[in-house]
Structure 1
Amino acid sequence: MAEIKAPKRPGRVTIRDVASDAGVSVAAVSKVLRDAYGVSDSLREKVRVSMDKLSYRPLASARGLRGRTYTLGILFPDMRNPFFADIFDGVTSALARTQYQAMQGVSVHANELVDAMIDRQMDGFILIGPNEESLRLVALAKRVPLVLVGHYEPGAGLLDTVNNDDQLGAKLVVRHLATNGYRRIAMVSLNQEPSTIIRQRELGYRIEMMEQGLGTAIQITRSSQTLRDVQSAIRKILESPDRPDALFCWTDLIAIEAISVATDMGLSIPGDIAIVGYDNTMYCDFAQNRLTSVDQSGELLGLQAARLLIERIEGRTEAEHFVVTPRIVARASSRRS
């Protein structure tokens, strides 16, 4: 019986193929790929045309041997929060005109996943809402360029941070609610340590409640992000004899669930209970939500994180801690008629 041979697989397009098609040297193509200093626009365009024509893609492992793979790791603690999509949009927009590509991963604790990404020669990392102690984050920054989004490390010189002013954001919520006549303002927070943004939001809430003369009404309920825990915590608040007249939820995801629970209990919003979220995600505008929320410019956070990481990779050593000024976007969920 004649041996059946598998069809020959087409070979991968190489840098030599690109050089031959463009009529330039291999060294010239290499300079374009490395974005080396002194490469003329005409040479760069000629090589790019040939790369597109031949569908050439640089082999990441080979580029890593030369010192850089142009891949960045973006790590999320979970994918339930729609605000993370806004941040990722900002990151990808910032990378659109660069050679860098973003690879995303999801992990409650970043260490093991980061190790796996480092093994794959990624050039740097953006950690969003990291659930790690400061010492571990600083240790990681000693190994690889690192930017944190949604975590405060103001004294850290080895890494960069991008945040909104979380304390101010919480103050704006309390101020808005007090101005609209609410007095028993409770906060639904996260029972997760060591989240520094949660600490800042709780602090801002406490400070502004005191400033508004509402210190005796301070009430913070902490819950995990699991649906059952959130529903149970909110129902318990709303069933209490001294039910608050307003809820400040630490994120829109929780606030939307609060709207659902309150509606299911037959409560009117905002007549019986005002509800305010944080992040100003796209779901706030939905007619069934009309959710007042704090806008912390997720896309801008992502843009700045990508910028800072590339600067780190390219040699900047002085730390930068970028802070966005939040604003409150008022909708029907907190406006008394």
Structure 2
Amino acid sequence: MEKPAVQKPSRVTIREVAIDAGVSVAAVSKVLRDAYGVSESMRLKVRKSMAKLGYRPHTAARGMRGQTFTLGMILPDLRNPFFSDILAGVNSALERTQYQVLLGVSQSGTTFDDALVDSMIDRQMDGLILIGPTDQQQLLDIAKRKPLATIGNHAPGVSSYDTVNNDDYEGGTLAVRHLSSNGYRNIAMLSLITESTIITQRELGYRREMMEQELGSYINVVRARQTMREVQIAAKKLLEAPDRPEAIFCWTDFIALEVISVATEMGLSIPRDLAVVGYDNTMYCDFAQNSLTSVDQSGELLGLQSVRLLIERIKGRTESEHFVVTPRVVARNSSADRLG
């Protein structure tokens, strides 16, 4: 005897949500579209009914009507903990909206994978956020197809997409100024082999402030690829040199933490023998065994602002905006005053 077929539960409709919430179908539709003029009490009432009934908007159908309320976000890799700070800001910005963010990780070192970008666009995502892009022509091409916001890309002249950045030039100057004021003179910079505009700006800031502090003869920028092995080789080469630097300014925190590890393995004391300054002020800086001084560029704020700008673009704004965060140095033990 055959078992009766198990019927799948029917999908909850927008009309059922309206009945449960005691509002009109049009009101529910406005909440779903995040339409202008919907009161917060109405929004909360409808969302409560959606959660109660298990209502899920049909993404494909919404896409056919022009919006899916999904945003694509592409990271250059997963190794840098700073990206989790940005993502926290993105999630906070989306908390009271209908939008959801879907993540992708690029496998390319210089440009974002075209296949990954195409996949997000083909899935009818309403807009894209790209972190640390380097190919300006690729960005212009993407912006012709979808609303676009970038984080970590200094391109103030563009009008087809928005940018959110830290003032990386100022960040480089602040790192050197901090070290110089604490008595360090021979200050090197461990940078990244890349075409990234943010790295270029940090290097320029470093060089300018070294000149301002009359330390031009000590300028030393060493570049390495973003692999632990190459960072270790570069750090060891610096620390084994006859004119070993008194301090190293690193382009990001997780590279700075590796420099501390290499120095410690070589028997050097931080900061007595070597001061280290990172960039990003990620959560690992506060760990007692690290106590890493770092340039804070407010990752959460960068994420918040990228969402704001992108949604404004989606809703019709055409003039570009370029939001810039002012950095600050968060001093910890790794760069303590030499005379202290």
How many pairs are equivalent?
Answer: 334
3-state secondary structure, aligned to 1:293 = strand
Q: Residue type of the partner of 2:138?
A: R
- Measured in 2, the distance between the counterparts of 1:37 and 1:280 equals 37
SS of the residue 1:306 aligns to: helix
Identical pairs, percent: 69
- Which whole-Å CA distance do the structure 1 matches of 2:20 and 2:282 have between them? 48
Matched, 1:112 2:115: yes
Query: How far did 1:18 drift?
Result: 2.4
Give the structure 1 partner of residue 223 of structure 2. 222
Are 1:124 and 2:123 an aligned pair?
no
Which residue pairs with 2:54 in the alignment? 55
- Closer, same or farther in 2 for the Cα pair 1:245/1:64, shift >3 Å? same
- Indicate the residue corresponding to 2:72 in structure 1: 73
* Counterpart AA for 1:191: I
Distance 1:269 1:159, change over 3 A: same
2:24 and 2:264 mapped to 1: Cα distance?
Answer: 69
Partner of 2:96: 97
What's 1:165 paired with?
167
Structure 2 CA distance for aligned equivalents of residues 208 and 23 of structure 1: 64
RMSD between superposed Cα atoms in Å: 1.7
Structure 1 consecutive aligned stretches of length 4 or more whose deviation exceeds 6 Å: none
**TM-score in terms of structure 2 length:** 0.93
Alignment partners' CA distance in 1, 2:178 and 2:23: 64
Q: Distance in 2 between matches of 1:46 and 1:180?
A: 57
Determine if contact 2:168/2:201 at 8 Å carries over to the other structure. Answer: yes
Q: Deviations over 1:92-137 (max 9, x none)?
A: 101111111111111133232111011111100111111x311111
Q: Does 1:64 align with 2:63?
A: yes
C-alpha displacement of 1:41: 6.4
Alignment of 1:270 onto 2:271: yes
Give the Cα–Cα distance (whole angstroms) in 2 for the partners of residues 197 and 18 of structure 1: 48
* Counterpart residue type for residue 47 of structure 2: R
After superposition, the Cα gap between the structure-2 partners of 1:41 and 1:185, relative to the gap in structure 1 and judged at 3 Å, is closer
1:326 paired with 2:327, answer yes
Cα distance in structure 1, aligned partners of 2:39 and 2:170: 48
Residue 311 in structure 1 maps to residue 323 in structure 2? no
Distance 1:190 1:241, change over 3 A: same
CA distance in 2: counterparts of 1:103 and 1:145, whole angstroms? 15
**Gap runs ≥5 in structure 1:** none
Residues 9 and 221 of structure 1, relative CA distance in 2, 3 Å threshold: same
- 1:192-232: CA deviation from partner (whole Å, max 9, x where unpaired): 12x00000001111111111111111111111111111111
- Paired residue for 1:144, among 131, 143, 146? 146
Stretches of structure 2 that go unaligned for 5 or more consecutive residues are none
- Residue 72 of structure 1 aligns to which amino acid in structure 2? L
Are residues 42 and 216 of structure 1, via their aligned partners in 2, closer, same or farther at CA, if it must alter by over 3 Å?
Answer: closer
1:187-336 maps to which residues of 2 (within 5 A)?
A: 187-193=189-195, 195-335=196-336, 336=338
